[in-house]
Structure 1
């Protein structure tokens, strides 16, 4: 089977360098309710340093003239938060690698992140919060039930 057929069948493998996980420095994360239509490095630290206001009912900040409301979300027990970056993508500005094996390295780690929403607090129905609740729910569903 040539690489084109394997890529078309979805046989891509992702590897994470375990040494990078241990050495990843602490990172500050903000999950914003917007999409950036670019895929390149950006000087985020230079342009995004929010002046967060702590209100009685959560966090508030302005982003490009819009009011955002947010809350700090902890990483659930038993899980680890890490920022992963693909390594070896070829020269900058060049075509992406055509390999089926992708190598990721951790560039940061986190124990919590700030989840932002437009105008109102994210709330328990936020997709991210539901996704973070799934591992403990799955463990409970699949746990051995004691016989009486």
Structure 2
């Protein structure tokens, strides 16, 4: 039964292409304290080459004239981080993006090559994602000061161990 004030929820299923996890190249990641209003591929390596310095209170760098302070954040033990991309409808990933941080390329080939997907039982609301990079740590940046232990990212990274503790078998006394 449908209520009158409810919004229509679109169906969407997301499928992972597991083969992409095996070939995901190591990535160098920086989590910046800003919002980019564009979503899509970009040759970031051509325009963003951070000159990170070790200062007395942690990592330091400037971004667009603003002073940033940072720290390394590690993915929890037993886990691996992946850089994921969504395939366009009717296309499927053929290549990989280069997230290694090297700037040897001239910018060509920074975008993934897409090919037509084979006909299958996919429906219009099916979406596919694949890994283009993997990481075990990343640099977390804050404006003027390092993010510190209260940063939301640290809470998210602590969640797997908290979830394990919550769901662990309680010994009978």
**Higher helix residue share:** 1
| Correspondence 1:27-42 to 2 at 5 A | 27-42=27-42
Q: Distance in 2 between matches of 1:120 and 1:90?
A: 45
**Structure 2 residue 167 is the aligned partner of structure 1 residue 142:** yes
**Structure 2 residue 145 is the aligned partner of structure 1 residue 120:** yes
Q: Deviations over 1:74-111 (max 9, x none)?
A: 110121100001113468xxxxxx93111011100011
| Correspondence 1:1-148 to 2 at 5 A | 8-89=8-89, 99-148=124-173
Cα gap change, 1:90/1:33 in structure 2, threshold over 3 Å: closer, same or farther? farther
Which residues of structure 2 form unaligned runs of 5+? 1-7, 92-122
Q: Distance in 2 between matches of 1:146 and 1:108?
A: 40
Please report how far the alpha carbon of residue 57 of structure 1 lies from its aligned counterpart in structure 2 after TM superposition.
2.1
Q: Which residue of 1 aligns with 2:4?
A: none
Which residues of structure 1 form unaligned runs of 5+? 1-7, 92-97
Provide the TM-score with structure 1 as the length reference: 0.85
Q: Distance in 1 between matches of 2:40 and 2:172?
A: 55
Please report how far the alpha carbon of residue 37 of structure 1 lies from its aligned counterpart in structure 2 after TM superposition.
1.1
Please report how far the alpha carbon of residue 134 of structure 1 lies from its aligned counterpart in structure 2 after TM superposition.
0.9
Cα gap change, 1:90/1:11 in structure 2, threshold over 3 Å: closer, same or farther? closer
Cα gap change, 1:71/1:88 in structure 2, threshold over 3 Å: closer, same or farther? same
Moved over 6 A (4+): none
Q: Distance in 1 between matches of 2:27 and 2:152?
A: 22
Residues matched between the structures, number: 135
